[in-house]
Amino acid sequence: MKLCFASNNRHKLEEIGALLGADFTLMTLQDIGCLEELPETTDTLEGNAEEKASYVWDRYHIPCFADDSGLEVEALHGAPGVYSAMYAGPHRSAEDNNRLLLERLNGKENRKARFRAVIYLILPEYRMKFEGKVDGVILHEPRGSQGYGYDPLFLPDGCTKTLAEMNLEEKNEISHRAGAVQQLVSFLKSLR
């Protein structure tokens, strides 16, 4: 089955491509000729995922899915949440985002957090939402060079490695995105 993943994020494309496996052909926005920036104008992960998938479906009529994900930190009342990618500004710098997160957590004992991902799928006869999450804590300093975004600061519950210290296979066993994609794949396989 051919599916367009409505994202230009190469890290997400790698992660999801590895999770989908050989039963699916993953097309990128470039593959379908979509070169414009997708809208993300809502204040929820669910709303942004649906908005991006609907944008692709309405203009290209190709089975597609989109995701939105965010880091929700308990002591910051769920921030950065839906604004995770632009936490430190519209330039979307992971280093600046991580620095700001550590500044805002400075002196706070509660460092509980969770990554949450929402996938919105559009097929001709279906519109479905899938959600994955992983709980953990925010460390006081980054560890690891793999992964991206907040991965160097996030230590999943029950793990000794941050997401940035894990290889792709290890990360895909526990990540929030992997949880949502596994639900997506199970649903797609059930259609056969």
Provide the annotated active-site residues: 68
4, β-bridge pairs: 27, 64
Which of 29, 25, 103 lies closest to 60 in space, CA to CA? Answer: 29
Strand stretches in 100-176, DSSP E: 112-123, 126-138, 154-156
Helices of type H across the chain: 10-20, 45-60, 94-105, 168-174, 176-190
Counted residue by residue, the chain has a size of 192
